A and B are shown apart, each in its own frame.
Chain A
Amino acid sequence: MLKKLLPVVTFLILTISVLAINSNSSERFEPYSPEIQLEDRWLGVPVSYALDILGDPRPNHYLMNIDPDSARMGEELVRFGQLKDGSNKRISKYFLCTDCHNQVLETDDPADESPERVLEYSMKNNIPFLPASTFYGMYNKEHWYNGDYDKKYGELVRDTRDTLFNAIQLCATQCSQGREMEDWEIRCVIHYYKSIELKVSDLNFNDKEYGLYVAYISAMNKKAKDLIKSKYNQINDAHFGTSKIPVIEGYEPNYKNGEFIYVAGCLHCHAPERGITNFDLDTTQLTLKFLHNKKDKYNSYSISHITRYGTYAIGGRRQYMPQYSFENMSDEQMLDLMHYIKVKANE
C-alpha cells in the first residue's frame, strides 16, 4: 500500500516545492520596474504617509488628508495669484509663484537636486530652469530659506527655517513683494503642496534598496524611515556667488546647455510677452550682442553679475530679480550660458 502511495506522495511534494520556489522567486527576484511600482501598495503612497506610519514626528504643517477644494484654491493662488472667481485680492501685482517655482519634479532622483542633474532632467522634459525650488515635494522638506538667505533677508528668515507656514508668508511679502497672505490662503497652499508631495515611487531606489524598503515597511521596522529620508533632500541649501566670471581649467562650455538656460531660464521672465520685468530679452542678435558686450561690467547688464547678485526691490521699483545660487546654477552652467550668448552675438 505504501509502495503504491510513494510515487503519488513524491509527485505531490515535488509539485508543491516547485510552486513554492516559483512563488518565492516572483517576490524576491523580480527586477524593479515602474510598472511594478504602481501595483505595489508601498510604492504608491505619499512619503509623508509612509513616514507617519513609521512613527516619524509630524511636521507642524502636517495634514492628515487633502481637502480637494482647498488644494484647488491653493493651486489657483500659486498659478494666478488669486482665486479665479476674483473673490480675494491678488497676492502680488509683480510676480506669480510660477515665475520662480516649478510645480513638477525637476530631477529623476530627489536625493540629487544638483544643477547638473536638474538641467539634464529639465532639458529632457522641457521644464523651465528657474532660480527657486520646485513646489513638487516642498511639503516634504523640513527646512526652508537655508544657507545664505540670511544674507539677503536677515532676521526675517529665522522663523521660516523650520516652519513652512512662515516660509510661504515670507515668500509672499518679500520674494513676490506682495501683501501678507491670510491664514486660510496659506492653508490652501499647503493643501496644494500636499497634493504634489513626493510619492515613494518618485524616490530613486535600486533593486536592493527597494527590497529592503518593502521588507522594512512590511515589518514596520523604523529603518524604513531612514531609508526613505536618504532618498530625498529635506533641505534646500543656498550659497550665493559673486559677479566674477568663473574660470574652470579645461572646461569646454556646452552650447546646447547654454541655449536651454537662456530660453528656459532667462526668457522665462524676460521675454516681452511675459510682462514680468522691466528689461525685455529675446534671441535677436541685437540683444545678445548687448549682453555679450556688457559681460565684464560690474552692473546689472552683466550676465554673471545679475545672475549671482540679482537685484533688490526698491521704492517705486518693486520688480526685482532673484539670484541663482550655486545650488540652482553651477559655474559650468554659467559658462555654458555665456558661451551661447557669445556665439549667437557673433553669428
Chain B
Amino acid sequence: MRILVTSLLILVGITNSYAQDKVYETFAATRVINNHSNEMLPQQTLEFIVAHKFGDIAGASGGLENFFGFDNLADVRIAFEYGILDQLDIGLGRSKGIGLRTQIIDGYAKYGILTQKTSGMPISLTFVSSLALSYAPATTEPTLLTSYPKFLNRMMYTNQLLITRQFHPRFSAQLNVGYNHRNFVEFGDKNGLFFAGASGRVRFTKMLGLLVEYNHVFGRPSIIPSQQPLSFGFEILTGGHAFALHFSNGKGLNENLFIPGTTSNWLDGQFRFGFSINRRFKL
C-alpha cells in the first residue's frame, strides 16, 4: 500500500513538474467511440452527451425490411459529465441498456495521472473507474439474470488504465487495459473479466477524422456467446460540438455493457450505425 501511495505521489509530482508544454487534442472528445479517451473536461465545464445506436444494418435483423437498422434501437444514452478539476472528471448517465440488462444508470470518475508533453513526458496516463446498475424491476423467476436477489446483484464495475500518445497532430493512439466485474452473471459465466484494447485517430483535416476502437476480453467461458467489440467512426468537429458517427458490433454505449455484453458478429452483418453528440457548457 505504501509503495502504491508513493508511486501515485511520484506520478502526480511528475504531472505537475511539466506544466508548460502540454499536448492538446489527442482525441476530440472524452470518448474515442464508445470507450473513454484521455481527454478531460476543463475545470467547471459541463458536457452534455447524447449517444444512440440503431439496429443491425445487415444480417437476419437488418436489410431493407428494417431500413438497415434505423427502425430499431440498440441502445441510447443521455449523460452529463463535469470537470471538477482539469484532471478530474465525473459523469452520470442513463442508458436503455442491452439484452436482459435494461434501465441502466451509470456513473464514473476519471483522473488524468500523466499528461503528454512536447518534451519530457511521451504519454498520457488516465485512470477511469465506472459503475453501472440496472433499476429495472426484478423478475420473479429465480433462475433468470434479472431476478436480482439482492440490490448489489444489480451492480457492474469497470476499472481501466488508458495509455495515450499523440504521435503527430494527425495521428493519435491509445492502449487500454482493464477489469470488468459484474456482481451477478448467468450460469457458467465469470464475474470478473480482464480486457485490453487499442484505439486510434487519424485526422484528415482539423475538423474531420477517422476513428477505430477495439477491445479484447480475455478468458471468457466458451459456453457464453460473446464477441470482441470493434468499432469504426468518423468525427466531425464544428467548434463547441463534437459529432461522432460510427459503425460497431457492440450494442452497448457504456463500458459496463459493451465490454462483457457484445454478442454481435461483424461477419454476420450484425453491426450497426450509431452517433454521439457532445456539447460543452461553461459553468
Contacts and interface: CB of A to CB of B under 8 A. Distances in A.
Interface of A: 93-94, 272-273, 275, 277-280, 282, 284-287, 289-290, 293, 300, 316-319
B24 A282 contact: yes
B282 A94 contact: yes
A286 B283 contact: no
Interface of B: 22, 24-25, 42, 44, 169-170, 203, 205-207, 239-240, 280-283
A284 B282 contact: no
B169 A273 contact: no
A277 B45 CA distance: 12
Contact of A93 (B169, B280, B283): B283
A286 B282 contact: no
Contact of B206 (A273, A277, A286): A286
Contacts of A285: 169
Contacts of A280: 24-25
Nearest to B283: A93
A278 B169 contact: no
Contacts of B207: 290
Given A93-B282, A277-B239, A293-B205, 8 more contacts: A93-B44, A93-B283, A278-B280, A279-B240, A280-B24, A286-B169, A287-B206, A319-B282
Interface class of chain A by DSSP: loop
A251 to B, nearest CB: 29
A297 to B, nearest CB: 13
Contacts of B170: 286
A279 B239 contact: yes
B24 A284 contact: no
B261 to A, nearest CB: 35
Contacts of B42: 275
The 8 closest A-B pairs by CB, nearest first: A278-B240, A290-B206, A279-B239, A272-B24, A284-B169, A286-B169, A278-B239, A275-B42
A286 B283 CA distance: 31
A165 B88 CA distance: 40
A93 to B, nearest CB: 5
A317 B240 contact: yes
A273 B240 contact: no
Most buried by A among B44, B170, B206, B282: B206
A317 to B, nearest CB: 6
Contacts of A300: 239
A282 B170 CA distance: 13
Nearest to A272: B24
Contacts of A277: 239
17 contacts: A93-B44, A94-B282, A273-B24, A275-B42, A278-B239, A278-B240, A279-B239, A286-B169, A286-B170, A286-B203, A289-B205, A289-B206, A290-B205, A290-B206, A290-B207, A300-B239, A319-B282
A91 to B, nearest CB: 13
